[in-house]
Chains A and B, each alone.
Chain A
Amino acid sequence: MAARNSVETEAPADSKSWTLRVRRAIDSHLPMDHLLPDRQPYYVGSWVYVFGVVTIAALAWVIVSGVVLSFMGPQWWHDSHLGRFFNSLHFWSVQLFFIFMVLHLWGQYFMAGWRNGRAATWMIGVVIFAVSILTAFTGYLSQQNFDAQFIAVNAKDAMNSAGIGAFFNVLNFGQMYGLHIMLLPIGVTILVVLHIVMVRTRGVVKPIDPEGGAQP
């Protein structure tokens, strides 16, 4: 700690050190009492504010069960009791993820959660929703059963008519599976972390009209 303070006092304010500038930016925009608060504003005392964190909890179960499924493979998740259990765990945690994400969306929509400089937080939430739908879609295509084949054969016409069938080929299992277990989950996770950091930076938005007075 003492060493860090000595660096702070020695470095000029206009230092060209990028690490110093990044550290100062983090210190000013995201102090630890914002990142890990021990008290919340009084208006956060409502179950509506729980939907977001339940969505994150569901995402954690999606990732854990997905890692197990990807490690063990399709034969295991179709033919063994434990495999079918993890298959179901993955499926139902995805259902809960989407249900609570939509409930979180309703809550934020009705309280206009984009106010007072929170538009980027809202928009990242919109992008998370879109990327999650794509992730779930590629998941349905990765089941390795007749349901997946049915969805793929029907969806290929939609993709071709949209003009993206050439580079997003739903009949190409390897491409869909790779997207589902690698790129898209990493995308969702990074966006969720960014979303949480942005929420913590500005705090939870105030209610629109808590005491009868106009709120900006």
Chain B
Amino acid sequence: MDTPASYFDWGFIHISMPNLLVIGGMIVLFAIALFAPFPHAEGGHDGGKK
């Protein structure tokens, strides 16, 4: 915990591994949220005019 984080370097991109892992995890979670089936998704109304 007290040692400095290692860094990922690719061209102009310079980011610490913990930050890279958090961003990667967020992208994975977003993708899962898009495609994972939602329970009781049927039965809603059409949302009205707008």
Contact = CB atoms under 8 A, between A and B. Distances in A.
B40 A45 contact: yes
Nearest to B27: A106
Instruction: State the majority secondary structure of interface residues on A.
Output: helix
A42 B46 contact: yes
Contacts of B41: 42, 45-46
B36 to A, nearest CB: 6
A47 B38 contact: yes
Contacts, number: 59
Interface residues of B, number: 19
A203 B43 CA distance: 17
B44 A41 contact: yes
Instruction: State the majority secondary structure of interface residues on B.
Output: loop
A179 interface: no
B45 A42 contact: yes
Interface residues of A, number: 24
Interface of A: 39-48, 50-51, 99, 102-103, 106-107, 116-117, 202-206
Which 9 pairs between the two chains have the least Cβ-Cβ distance? A45-B41, A41-B47, A42-B44, A47-B33, A116-B50, A45-B38, A48-B33, A41-B44, A40-B44
